[in-house]
Amino acid sequence: MRTRIRRSDKAFRLGGEEFLAFLYGTDQEHGRQVAEDLRQTVAAKPLIPGRSITVSIGVASYSGNRDWEEWLRRCDQNLCGAKAKGRNAVVG
């Protein structure tokens, strides 16, 4: 993930198999484009011979005047939406 985001952005592991990326100064549409690029990059890499690896990604934009807990809930809802679409998807 770090090779697909800018140096000014930050990536964190939240726990288990969940990660969070802060794409500073990025709007919702650009965030979706970055997420889609990441999804395609992972799907194209043969990380385990004979087995494909995919990611499901939820995207939500944040502005400093909003509640961060609500933003995190939207991220999680969109992630659940991506999984409900059959995985290997971006929602947001």
Domain of 49, CATH number, reads 3.30.70.270
CA-CA distance, 3 to 72, in Å (whole number)? 23
- Its pTM stands at 0.85
Our measurement of the distance from residue 59's CA atom to the centroid of its chain's CA atoms, rounded to an integer in Å, reads 6
Structure tokens at 65: 């005047």
Per-residue pLDDT tens digits of the chain, which is 92 residues long: 878 889 999 988 888 888 888 899 999 999 999 999 999 998 988 888 888 889 999 999 988 788 889 999 999 999 999 999 989 999 99
- Whether residue 70 contacts residue 84, with contact meaning beta carbons closer than 8 Å, is answered with no
Which of 60, 63, 54 shows the shortest CA–CA distance to 83?
54
The secondary structure element, H or E, covering residue 15 is strand 10-15
- Kindly list the catalytic residues: 17
Containing structural domain, residue 54:
2-91
Tally the domains of the chain. 1
So what's the pLDDT on residue 16? 85
